[in-house]
A = this chain, B = another copy of it.
Amino acid sequence: MSDFSGYQPSSAATLLAKLGVLPALQDEERSALATLAGEEAWIGEGRAIVADGEIQPTVCLLLDGWACRCKDFRDGRRQIIAFLTPGDFICGDESAAPRRSDHAVRALTRTRVTWISRDRWRAALVRNEGLAAFVFGAAAREAAILRAWLVNLGQRSARERMAWLFCDLAQRLGEDGPSENLAVPLSQQTLAHALGLTPVHVNRVLQQLRGDGLIDFHSGTLTIRDPSRLRGVAGYDGAYLRN
């Protein structure tokens, strides 16, 4: 993976900022969360944060960098199920009993991660209604993204599919900022794994989209040149992200 120095490593503030999106979330809740966070760790690019089949007893949060949920086949095929960015739950967001993971979570860049004891987490949710509402909302949102992604894979052509993914990323990353020149630390290979395409085809479609003046995608930076036309080819409707 090339040079992704464009990322401003964020502290726990990233998560808190994300939590801040919820108007109902009081300072009290934010600090509650901040105090919950236990040990932290940096994890190298490409490493697994959670292995497929592993039982994760703790709640796990992504603080810095990008990760992905992915499923690997014996024969080398790989499907990326979701991209995770700072503030996302790596596991345990449903607060239910620990479950055997049916997929791996891998670091796409160097990432910083923190773990929270499930008991303390559960206690905090019971104590703090606003926090609980936020967490359930986040879970519902992730499920919505999952469904939208599934639809994307099932129905759209390679061109539409890639356009859609870029719309999705722009929407999610740009919710608190302008949607141009986004830091998207993904190789074409990784895009291929996310889109269910071959790297070769990703490359060609990428050139096509660039040639049409829709986007630019170079060394970890996504530039959306014509947002509305891109949404047009993608058939993109961001409704699934609004609650």
Query: Which residue numbers of A lie inside 8 Å of B, CB to CB?
Result: 53, 69, 71, 73-74, 77-79, 81, 94-97, 99-100, 102-103, 133, 136-137, 139-140, 143-144, 146-151, 153-155, 195-196, 235, 239-240, 242-243
Report how many copies the assembly holds: 2
Cβ-defined contact, B242 with A71, below 8 A:
no
Q: How far is the CB of A69 from chain B (nearest CB, A)?
A: 7
| A155 interface neighbour in B79, B95, B149, B235, Cβ under 8 Å | B79
Complex contacts, A53 vs chain B, CB 8 Å: 239
Q: Which chain B positions have C-beta within 8 A of A100?
A: 239, 242-243
B69 & A140 in contact (Cβ 8 Å cutoff): no
Question: Which of B69, B71, B137, B144 lies in contact with A102, CB distance below 8 A?
Answer: B144
Report whether B140 and A96 are in contact in the complex, using a CB–CB cutoff of 8 Å: yes
Q: Given A94-B136, A136-B94, A102–B153 Cβ distance below 8 Å?
A: no
Given contacts A53-B239, A99-B243, contact A143 B146 (CB under 8 A): yes
Contact B73 A235 (CB under 8 A): yes
Known: A96-B137, A146-B150, A154-B196. 11 other contacts (CB 8 A): A79-B151, A81-B147, A81-B150, A96-B133, A96-B139, A100-B239, A100-B242, A102-B144, A102-B240, A143-B146, A154-B195
Flag if B99 contacts A140 (CB, 8 Å): yes
Taken together as a complex, chains A and B put the C-alpha atoms of A146 and B71 apart, in Å, by: 13
Nearest-CB residue, chain B, relative to A240: B102
Residues of B within 8 A of A74 (CB): 235
Q: A79-B154, A102-B240 are in contact. Are A133 and B94 (CB under 8 A)?
A: no
Give the Cβ gap from A137 to chain B, nearest Cβ, in Å.
6
Query: Smallest CB-CB separation from A237: which chain B residue?
Result: B102
Query: How many angstroms between the C-alpha atoms of A96 and B148 in the bound complex?
Result: 20
Instruction: Pick the residue among B77, B139, B151, B196 that contacts A71 (CB under 8 A).
Output: B151
Cα distance A94–B96 in the bound complex, in angstroms: 11
Q: B137 near A71 (CB under 8 angstroms)? A: no
Q: Is the CB of B102 within 8 A of A148?
A: yes
Q: Are A147 and B102 in contact (CB under 8 A)?
A: yes
With known contacts A53-B239, A97-B133, A239-B100, A150–B150 Cβ distance under 8 A: yes
Min Cβ gap A237→B in Å is: 9
A152 CB to nearest B CB, Å: 9
B239–A153 touching, CB < 8 Å = no
